[in-house]
């Protein structure tokens, strides 16, 4: 049995008539730039995330970029983040002219280790960008406390974490900004690129709205140097439809993850040789349950011995899988000027060697999950 890593066809089949009608409605008006669909999505996403305002933008990458621009972070500034994330987190810091200052991850959660942040602060540090990797919330309390004491801005990279919760608060409502992506593989994915920045500060919201449209208000009067970071009306129309299904999809992803956990334990594969994703919230290990959605499983990621061999084995058998991410950012060629070398962030490097993502999309069936687990079992028995 073949099991794809993600099956967007299955999702579309379930909502096709709603999506097609929403797209047709935008075509009927021929209003493609910003407009009521985008405003409706901004209100809905802000409410969903527990923020007072939101600004639709062209991608998750541009969400990060425009949040940094809104704080005036640029040349001479330093921004703390993790090297074990998608490129855009650190790429956007470098693009505004600031320096990404990496801090290693906690090996259990794969998220920025708050205990290592204080040692990296300098008088030039302006912000911290924690990433809620794979859909699991970063350990926010110590980061927020530190940021508060030192006057730093916290920008959540919540691109993989829409709807995730930390001690009852949703991703995007804890930092000064929450940055979201609607890339098709995210839990809330559009028909192309899109993103959103949440905030609960009206002054910040006004700056975001201005910056995403050339700092222009009214037409041809420019207060700030912004750019074209607008969200398309077509994307917003599709996303307004999909947002209504997000809670059901998230619940299905969480059920799929719990089922893998059960099956891997029953097969004698966990806790050894496989390390299952850590679901309890925070360092205190508060149990995860329906009331505390600490992990929304944008990805279900195992730590697996002989990872590359396992990967090849699964691929050969038609089982979708992926490595997020094979090369930590401090070792990327484009960041060579930062002067890092192998060994600088050992947990990030180890995670890059040992982790593997398995299919966890909402429509995954019992049979498919069983086939994934059987293929992994056969590999370690063989």
Interacting residues with ligand PLP (CB under 6 A): 59-61, 85-86, 88-89, 131, 157, 159-160, 181, 183, 193, 195
Q: What is the smallest separation between the CB atom of 249 and ligand PLP, expressed in angstroms?
A: 17
Strands 99-102 and 78-81: parallel
Residue pair 199/207 in contact (Cβ under 8 Å)? The answer is: no
Shortest separation between residue 87's beta carbon and ligand PLP, angstroms:
8
| Joined tokens for residue 337 | 């000027």
What is the nearest approach in angstroms of ligand PLP to the Cβ of residue 162?
11
Helices (H), 76-174: 87-95, 140-150
Tally DSSP H helices, then E strands, for the chain.
Answer: 11, 11
- First-to-last CA distance in the chain? 19
Which long-range contacts link 310-315 to residues 24+ away (Cβ below 8 Å)? 310/356, 310/376, 310/379, 311/356, 313/375, 313/378, 313/379, 314/372, 314/375, 314/376, 314/379
CB of 61 to ligand PLP, least distance (A): 3
**What is the 8-class DSSP label of residue 327?**
S
Q: Which is nearer to ligand PLP, 60 or 114 (CB)?
A: 60
At its nearest, how many Å lie between ligand PLP and the CB of residue 131?
Answer: 5
Identify which of residues 183 and 313 has a Cβ nearer to ligand PLP in the complex. 183
Comparing CB distances to ligand PLP, the nearer of 269 and 352 is 352
What is the C-alpha to C-alpha distance for residues 374 and 382, in angstroms, rounded to an integer? 12
DSSP designation for 316: H
> If DSSP codes are grouped into helix, strand and coil, which group holds residue 350?
helix
Supply φ then ψ for residue 332, to 5 degrees. Answer: -75, 145
- Judged by DSSP in three states, 54 sits in strand
Tell the smallest beta-carbon distance from residue 318 to ligand PLP (Å): 25
How far apart (Å, rounded) are the C-alpha atoms in residues 270 and 227?
49
Of 73 and 269, which has the nearer Cβ to ligand PLP? Answer: 73
Q: Report, in Å, the least distance between residue 119 CB and ligand PLP.
A: 24
Nearer to ligand PLP, 86 or 297 (CB): 86
Query: Which residue lies nearer to ligand PLP by CB, 181 or 210?
Result: 181
Q: State in angstroms the smallest separation of the CB of 12 from ligand PLP.
A: 19
**174 CB contacts (<8 Å, ≥6 apart)?**
140, 144, 154, 156, 166
Q: Considering the complex, state which of residue 37 and residue 89 has its C-beta at the smaller distance from ligand PLP.
A: 89
Choose between 324 and 379: whose C-beta lies nearer to ligand PLP. 324
Which one, 59 or 210, has the nearer CB to ligand PLP? 59
SS3 155: strand
Which residue minimizes CB distance to ligand PLP? 60
Nearer of residues 59 and 173 to ligand PLP, judged by Cβ: 59
Rounded to a whole number of angstroms, the minimum distance from the CB of residue 303 to ligand PLP is 19
Query: In the bound complex, what is the minimum distance in angstroms from residue 235's beta carbon to ligand PLP?
Result: 11
The rounded distance, in Å, linking the Cα atoms of 191 and 114 is: 36
Going by C-alpha positions, the residue among 74, 75, 94 that lies closest to residue 83 is 94
């Amino acid at each position: 049995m073949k099991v794809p890593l993600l099956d967007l066809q299955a999702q579309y089949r379930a909502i096709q008539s709603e999506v097609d009608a929403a797209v047709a409605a935008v075509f009927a008006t021929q209003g493609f730039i910003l407009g009521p669909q985008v405003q409706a999505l901004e209100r809905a996403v802000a409410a969903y995330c527990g923020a007072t305002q939101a600004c639709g933008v062209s991608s998750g990458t541009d969400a990060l970029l425009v949040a940094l621009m809104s704080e005036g972070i640029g040349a001479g500034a330093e921004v703390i983040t993790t090297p074990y994330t998608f490129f855009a987190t650190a790429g956007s810091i470098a693009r505004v002219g600031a320096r990404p200052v990496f801090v290693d991850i906690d090996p259990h959660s794969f998220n920025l280790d708050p205990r290592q942040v204080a040692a990296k602060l300098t008088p030039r540090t302006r912000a911290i960008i924690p990433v809620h990797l794979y859909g699991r919330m970063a350990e926010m309390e110590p980061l927020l406390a530190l940021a508060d004491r030192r006057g730093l801005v916290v920008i959540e990279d919540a691109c993989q974490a829409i709807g995730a919760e930390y001690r009852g608060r949703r991703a995007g409502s804890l930092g000064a900004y929450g940055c979201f992506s609607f890339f098709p593989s995210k839990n809330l994915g559009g028909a192309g690129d899109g993103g959103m920045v949440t905030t609960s500060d009206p002054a910040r919201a006004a700056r975001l709205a201005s910056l995403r449209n050339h700092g222009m208000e009214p037409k041809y009067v420019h207060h700030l140097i912004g750019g074209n970071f607008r969200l398309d009306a077509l994307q917003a129309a599709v996303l307004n439809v999909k947002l209504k299904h997000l809670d059901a999809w998230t619940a299905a992803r969480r059920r799929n993850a719990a089922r893998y956990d059960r099956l891997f334990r029953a097969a004698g594969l966990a806790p050894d040789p496989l390390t299952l994703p850590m679901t309890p919230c925070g360092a205190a290990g508060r149990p995860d349950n329906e009331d505390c959605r600490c992990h929304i499983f944008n990805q279900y990621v195992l730590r697996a011995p002989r990872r590359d061999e396992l990967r090849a084995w699964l691929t050969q058998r038609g089982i979708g899988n992926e490595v997020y991410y094979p090369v930590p950012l401090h070792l990327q060629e484009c960041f060579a000027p930062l002067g890092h070398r192998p060994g600088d962030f050992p947990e990030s490097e180890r995670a890059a060697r040992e982790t593997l993502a398995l299919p966890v999309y909402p429509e995954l069936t019992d049979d498919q999950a069983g086939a994934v687990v059987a293929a992994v079992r056969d590999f370690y028995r063989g």
